[in-house]
Amino acid sequence: MSAVRVMPWQDDTLPPPPPELLAGMKARRPDGELIGIDRVLLRSVPLATGWNALLGRVRAEFGLALEHRELIMLRVAVLNRADFEWGVHHPAYLAAGGTEEKCEALKENAVDSGVFDEEERALLALTDQSTKRVEVDALLIEEMKRLFGEVRTVEAVATVAAYNMVSRFLVALAV
């Protein structure tokens, strides 16, 4: 993708963001360093504050298995052509138990259902329907509730929605 379309925040930009915001953003990163999206978000302190709180909870507090959340995030990245998002979540998915074989299958227009188990296929159907057409079939939601219960179904839908927000932000600003 081309150069980022807005000037990312730099450490010497004045006025500086609140120290607690910077600390919270760094705490969400494996190496404690801000990445490209963080620096673009910091152009708006209210946005960065809310984003960090929401995405921090999606990434760290949901009961839906991390491997499943990362699977959703990767599929959203593929569907929305968000290469930066893929780059961040690919290693996280592998660390959470995903495989390269599944990563390759995620890149296809129609996901190879033979590679994924029943739960993963339901999550991918949810991700595809929600991302491509917004509306999700009622029968799929019933299947999700059967497989995951209502709380984790809500969390799966929220993960898809949140990472569609992320990918649209990344793609629009060429991060």
Mean pLDDT confidence for 74-95 = 97
> Which tokens is 164 given?
């569609």
Mean pLDDT confidence for 109-129 = 94
pLDDT tens digits along 126-138: 999 999 999 999 9
Residue 137 lies in a domain: yes
Specify the pLDDT at position 54: 97
Angle at 11 between CA 81 and CA 38, to 5 degrees: 25
Residue 9 lies in a domain: no
- Looking at the structure, tell me whether residues 27 and 102 fall in a common domain: no
- Looking at the structure, tell me whether residues 55 and 87 fall in a common domain: no
For residue 12, the one-letter residue type is D
- Looking at the structure, tell me whether residues 53 and 27 fall in a common domain: yes
d(CA 98, CA 96): 6
Q: Which residue, 45, 60, 75, sits at the end of a domain? A: 60
- CATH label of the domain that carries residue 145: 1.20.1290.10
Q: Per the structure, how many domains does the chain have? A: 2
Q: Give this prediction's pTM.
A: 0.94
When pLDDT is cut at 50, 70 and 90, the band that residue 152 belongs to is very high
Residue 6 lies in a domain: no
- Looking at the structure, tell me whether residues 51 and 119 fall in a common domain: no
- Looking at the structure, tell me whether residues 113 and 132 fall in a common domain: yes
Determine the structural domain holding residue 42 and report its residue range: 19-60
pLDDT tens digits along 47-57: 999 999 999 99
